[in-house]
């Protein structure tokens, strides 16, 4: 798919570059692509969220709080936060959680850890599975390709959210939830990337230079590492970054439904789910976790789109 | 019609593998549904009796076999004095809710179906119309709104948008009910009135994705040779629009089919926001009480919907694009895919 507005002047596919051996004018355009206002702002948000995740304890301590202490004195008699906007004050920058009085700023900052950790780790897992299966299927063809194809169909035949909810019934309470969620989200995320990589690999292995190196006795491992992988790399990077926000949203959705991260671990999704019972008394409780979740997914989406437009001028595919 | 038969067979195969995996995973789980039924104190003999009654004493593949046969033939639990009959199509029996899983799903299905049907209709209508208009007036106000909203909608989780809609339109402004479900047969007007917010939320989010797809595909189509030729031959722009939209039918039908297939998954979150007692609520309750038959039954229905929707999309392809029918059902190649080697 190619739209009129973009593409034609920069239409250099990775294949043509490799075939002609020319270094594409990519570095410069890549840097330029991210210097426009929106991608720049998105990049700043992502960096801030990563820093917040890394230095959550220090940031919370800076505000003089932690996400686990119950501040009963910050609550009104009906256990809703005392004061306007969910109890925003000099002590509690984002107010406090209704019912418990836990500091909302600390909860949001710690929540970045869960979101980013699970989002990034599950994306790496899904990408690794997808790339290996895709290259194997695309390069070997035949029965292997049919098997991978069927496995893809089966994985897509699972209703992901339903099945993830159902699986949570099996998780023991003491099991490491973040790891289990990463595995579940990652294990169901590979079909898309496997299909794209398989399609590109099929094209690469038909190229004369691959045939030539095969004739010269190159093993599959050599072709895999030095000829196929470099050619599918940009597609893989684009696909991984485009799918990352969806994975962050998947963790948030499961936690929102009460089957993701368990209390007392702070999670944006769970805070938003908790907010349902406080919508009438304290709607402000919804705002900060929701804004954090939206800003981070939005920024990752913008960065992913920018990366795709810069690396893959042929435009979107999913 | 051999290719069609092959597709049906493949779909059945996928469904069977999904079901087998689901069954194996939940059978190997460290949960004993018989323990919940046995009561307290539970003697080892009572537990064995409960297991035997529920059919949990047999190996998992035997259980899977009887689960499959029960869908077609129905089945009975226990023998002698206490017999529970489960009529076909039997998806198992919830010993916690004392009802057949098919009955439970049947009770909840209208709620989820109402939510999904209205949302899919609304989002198709809004998405296709605004996408087509945006493509015609590139750079115009509507185009910029469609492009901007679609970027935001792609990032905003459904529960954030839904909850904000509840706060603004139900709690602050008081225009619409914040949730609840009125059966269609009881009062159609109230049915629709209570579903306006869920429909609007889903249609806003998914409609933006449709609009984006329609916009970029329309721009592509209008730049193709046939559109230029038609214009040169003096056809009106309206006619050319019709040609272009006709060519978008294939990707759009696939998209709509996939959305209907994801019906169950999509409504879980909506049901939680708007307090609707649909299939998602049934599953969430079953999860918290570890009610395995309900969990497996709901997963099966979810998978069935996805596989059926994919099959419907696959089978409708030759009808929408006669070239596919002429090619013996072979897959059409996209422009940047190389032609297969001809010997």
* A249–B151 C-beta distance less than 8 A: no
Distance CA B123, CA B155 (A): 17
In a mutational test of the A interface, the residue from B24, B135, B163 whose CB has the highest number of chain A CBs within 10 Å is: B163
Q: What is the pLDDT of residue A186?
A: 92
Q: Locate the chain A residue with the closest alpha carbon to B274.
A: A276
In a mutational test of the B interface, the residue from A11, A37, A146, A169 whose CB has the highest number of chain B CBs within 10 Å is: A169
- Give the closest-approach CA distance of A26 to chain B in angstroms: 21
Q: What is the pLDDT of residue A20?
A: 43
Distance CA B116, CA B183 (A): 15
* A167–B155 C-beta distance less than 8 A: no
Which of residues B48, B80, B95 is at a domain's end? B95
Distance CA A2, CA A7 (A): 7
- Give the closest-approach CA distance of B81 to chain A in angstroms: 33
Contact list, B17 vs chain A (CB under 8 Å): 150, 154, 157
Q: What is the pLDDT of residue B80?
A: 61
Residues 6+ apart with CB under 8 A from A224: A135, A139
Contact list, B166 vs chain A (CB under 8 Å): 279
* Residue at B250 is within a domain: yes
Structure tokens belonging to residue A99: 């019912």
Distance CA B267, CA B120 (A): 12
- Give the closest-approach CA distance of A87 to chain B in angstroms: 18
Structure tokens belonging to residue B88: 């076909």
pLDDT band at A12 (very low <50, low <70, confident <90, very high): very low
* A166–B299 C-beta distance less than 8 A: yes
Neighbours of B4 (CB within 10 A): 13
Whether residues B207 and B166 fall in one domain: yes
Whether residues B91 and B118 fall in one domain: no
Which residue would you say has higher pLDDT here, A22 or B116?
Answer: B116
Which A residues 203-262 touch B at CB under 8 Å? 203, 206, 245, 249, 252-253, 256-259
- The domain that holds B216 is classified in CATH as 1.10.3720.10
Structure tokens belonging to residue B232: 């040169």
Whether residues B318 and B218 fall in one domain: yes
Question: Do A110 and A56 form a contact (C-beta atoms < 8 A)?
Answer: yes
Residue B68 burial by CB count (10 A; 0-12/13-18/19+): exposed, middle or buried?
middle
Task: Decide if A198 touches B, using CB distance below 8 A.
Answer: no
Q: What is the pLDDT of residue A127?
A: 93
Whether residues B125 and B42 fall in one domain: no
DSSP characters for A229-285? HHHHHHHHHHHHHHHHHHHHHHHHHHHHTTSSSPTTS--HHHHHHHHGGGTTT-THH
Q: Which of A5, A203, A290 sits opposite B338 (nearest CB)?
A: A203
Whether residues B69 and B106 fall in one domain: no
Question: Do A257 and A250 form a contact (C-beta atoms < 8 A)?
Answer: no
Q: What is the pLDDT of residues A115-131, one digit of tens each?
A: 999 999 999 999 999 99
* Residue at B2 is within a domain: no
* Residue at B210 is within a domain: yes
Distance CA A75, CA A81 (A): 4
Q: What is the pLDDT of residue A15?
A: 41
* B287–A259 C-beta distance less than 8 A: yes
Q: Locate the chain B residue with the closest alpha carbon to A305.
A: B151
Whether residues B88 and B46 fall in one domain: yes
Which residue would you say has higher pLDDT here, A207 or B77?
Answer: A207
Neighbours of B291 (CB within 10 A): 26
Distance CA B231, CA B233 (A): 5
Q: What is the pLDDT of residue B1?
A: 53
Distance CA B115, CA B127 (A): 18
The total number of residues written for chain A in this structure: 318
* B336–A314 C-beta distance less than 8 A: yes
DSSP H or E stretch at residue A149? helix A142-157
* B272–A206 C-beta distance less than 8 A: no
Task: Decide if A11 touches B, using CB distance below 8 A.
Answer: no
* A249–B167 C-beta distance less than 8 A: no
Task: Decide if A36 touches B, using CB distance below 8 A.
Answer: no
Among residues A288, A160, A283, the alpha carbon closest in space to that of B265 is found at A160
Alpha-carbon B28 to chain mean position: 27
Whether residues B224 and B141 fall in one domain: yes
Question: Do A199 and A135 form a contact (C-beta atoms < 8 A)?
Answer: no
Whether residues B218 and B112 fall in one domain: yes
Neighbours of A146 (CB within 10 A): 11
Distance CA A225, CA A206 (A): 16
| Model ipTM value | 0.80
**Res A238 pLDDT > 80:** yes
* Residue at B260 is within a domain: yes
* Residue at B61 is within a domain: yes
* Residue at B24 is within a domain: no
Question: Do A104 and A135 form a contact (C-beta atoms < 8 A)?
Answer: no
Task: Decide if B136 touches A, using CB distance below 8 A.
Answer: no
* Residue at B22 is within a domain: no
Whether residues B312 and B219 fall in one domain: yes
Which B residues 207-226 touch A at CB under 8 Å? 216-217, 219-220, 223
**What are the two backbone dihedrals, phi and then psi, of residue B28, each rounded to the nearest 5 degrees?**
-75, -5
* Three-state secondary-structure class, residue A235: helix
**How many Cβ pairs closer than 8 A exist between chain A and B?**
159
Question: Do B33 and B293 form a contact (C-beta atoms < 8 A)?
Answer: yes
Q: Which of B154, B171, B265 sits opposite A279 (nearest CB)?
A: B171
Contact list, A174 vs chain B (CB under 8 Å): none
Alpha-carbon A104 to chain mean position: 24
* B18–A157 C-beta distance less than 8 A: yes
Domain of B175 in residue numbering reads as 101-327
Q: Which residues of chain B have pLDDT under 50?
A: 328-343
* A302–B151 C-beta distance less than 8 A: yes
DSSP H or E stretch at residue A220? helix A220-222
Cα four-point dihedral sign B265, B267, B268, B269: positive
* A283–B160 C-beta distance less than 8 A: no
Structure tokens belonging to residue B220: 């592509």
* Residue at B337 is within a domain: no
Whether residues B193 and B248 fall in one domain: yes
Q: How many helices (H) and strands (E) would you count in chain A?
A: 15, 0
What are chain A's domains?
Answer: 37-311 (1.10.3720.10)
* B287–A168 C-beta distance less than 8 A: yes
Task: Decide if A159 touches B, using CB distance below 8 A.
Answer: yes
Across residues A243-248, what is the average pLDDT? 90
What residues does B84 pair with on adjacent strands? Answer: B77
Which B residues 76-115 touch A at CB under 8 Å? none
Whether residues B226 and B276 fall in one domain: yes
Q: What is the dihedral of CA B82, B87, B92, B93, to 10 degrees?
A: -40
Domains contained in chain B, number? 2
Across residues A141-148, what is the average pLDDT? 89
- Give the closest-approach CA distance of B254 to chain A in angstroms: 13
Task: Decide if A185 touches B, using CB distance below 8 A.
Answer: no
Q: What is the pLDDT of residues A295-311, one digit of tens each?
A: 999 999 888 888 888 87
* Three-state secondary-structure class, residue B75: strand
Q: What is the pLDDT of residue A120?
A: 93
Q: Which residues of B226-247 are buried (b: 16+ CB within 10 A; e: fewer)?
A: ebeebeeeeeeeeebbeebbeb
Contact list, B337 vs chain A (CB under 8 Å): 199, 203
pLDDT band at A269 (very low <50, low <70, confident <90, very high): confident
* B295–A290 C-beta distance less than 8 A: no
- Give the closest-approach CA distance of A284 to chain B in angstroms: 10
Whether residues B146 and B289 fall in one domain: yes
Across residues A216-234, what is the average pLDDT? 83
* B167–A279 C-beta distance less than 8 A: yes
Contact list, A305 vs chain B (CB under 8 Å): 151
Residues 6+ apart with CB under 8 A from A166: B22, B26, B283, B287, B295, B296, B298, B299
């Amino acid at each position: 798919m190619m739209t009129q507005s973009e593409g034609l002047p920069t239409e250099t596919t990775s294949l043509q570059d490799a075939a002609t051996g020319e270094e594409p004018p990519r570095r410069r355009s890549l840097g330029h692509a991210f210097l426009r206002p929106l991608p720049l702002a998105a990049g700043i948000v992502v960096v801030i969220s990563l820093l917040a995740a890394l230095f959550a304890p220090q940031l919370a301590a800076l505000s003089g709080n932690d996400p686990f202490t119950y501040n009963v004195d910050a609550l009104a008699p009906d256990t809703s936060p005392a004061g306007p906007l969910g109890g925003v004050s000099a002590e509690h920058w984002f107010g406090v959680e209704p019912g418990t009085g836990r500091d909302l700023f600390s909860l949001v900052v710690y929540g970045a850890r869960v979101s980013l950790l699970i989002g990034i780790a599950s994306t790496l897992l899904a990408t690794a599975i997808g790339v290996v299966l895709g290259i194997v299927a695309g390069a070997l063809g035949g029965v292997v390709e049919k098997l991978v194809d069927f496995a893809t169909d089966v994985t897509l035949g699972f209703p992901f959210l339903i099945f993830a909810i159902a699986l949570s019934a099996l998780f023991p309470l003491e099991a490491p939830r973040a790891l289990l969620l990463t595995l579940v989200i990652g294990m169901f995320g590979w079909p898309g990337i496997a299909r794209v990589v398989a399609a590109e690999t099929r094209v690469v292995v038909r190229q004369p230079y691959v045939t030539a190196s095969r004739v010269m006795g190159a093993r599959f491992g050599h072709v895999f590492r030095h000829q196929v992988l470099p050619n599918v790399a940009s597609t893989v990077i684009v696909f991984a970054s485009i799918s990352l926000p969806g994975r962050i949203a998947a963790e948030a959705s499961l936690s929102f439904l009460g089957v993701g991260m368990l209390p007392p671990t702070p999670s944006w999704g769970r805070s938003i789910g908790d907010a349902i019972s406080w919508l009438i008394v304290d709607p402000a409780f919804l705002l900060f976790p929701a804004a954090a979740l939206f800003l981070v997914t939005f920024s990752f989406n913008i960065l992913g789109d920018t990366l795709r437009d810069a690396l893959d001028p042929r435009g979107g595919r999913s | 019609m051999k290719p069609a038969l092959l597709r049906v067979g493949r779909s059945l195969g996928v469904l069977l593998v999904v079901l087998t995996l689901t069954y194996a995973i939940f059978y190997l789980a460290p949960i004993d549904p018989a323990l919940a039924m046995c009561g307290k104190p539970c003697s080892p003999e009572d537990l064995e009796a409960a297991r035997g009654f529920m059919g949990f004493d047999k190996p998992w593949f035997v259980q899977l076999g009887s689960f499959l046969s029960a869908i077609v033939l129905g089945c009975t639990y226990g023998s002698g004095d206490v017999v529970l009959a489960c009529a076909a199509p039997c998806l198992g029996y919830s010993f916690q809710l004392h009802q057949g899983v098919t009955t439970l799903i049947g009770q909840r299905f209208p709620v989820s179906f109402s939510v999904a049907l209205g949302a899919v209709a609304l989002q198709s209508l809004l998405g296709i119309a605004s996408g087509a208009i945006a493509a015609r007036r590139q750079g115009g106000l509507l185009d910029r709104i469609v492009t901007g909203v679609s970027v935001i909608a792609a990032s905003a989780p459904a529960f954030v948008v839904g909850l904000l809609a509840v706060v603004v339109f139900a709690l602050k402004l008081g225009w619409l009910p914040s949730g609840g479900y009125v059966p269609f047969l009881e009062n159609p007007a109230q049915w629709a009135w209570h579903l306006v917010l869920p429909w609007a939320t889903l249609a806003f989010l998914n409609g933006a994705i449709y609009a984006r797809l329609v916009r970029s595909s329309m721009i592509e189509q209008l730049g193709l040779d046939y559109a230029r030729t038609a214009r040169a031959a003096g056809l009106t722009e309206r006619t050319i629009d019709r040609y272009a939209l006709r060519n978008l039918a294939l990707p759009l039908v696939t998209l709509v089919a996939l959305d209907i297939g994801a019906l169950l998954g999509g409504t879980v979150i909506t049901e939680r926001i708007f307090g609707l007692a649909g299939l998602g609520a049934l599953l969430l309750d079953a999860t918290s009480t570890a009610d395995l038959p309900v969990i497996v039954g709901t997963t099966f229905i979810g998978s069935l919907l996805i596989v059926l929707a994919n099959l419907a999309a696959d089978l409708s392809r030759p009808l929408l694009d006669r070239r596919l029918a002429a090619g013996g059902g072979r897959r059409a190649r996209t422009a940047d895919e190389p032609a297969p080697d001809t010997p």
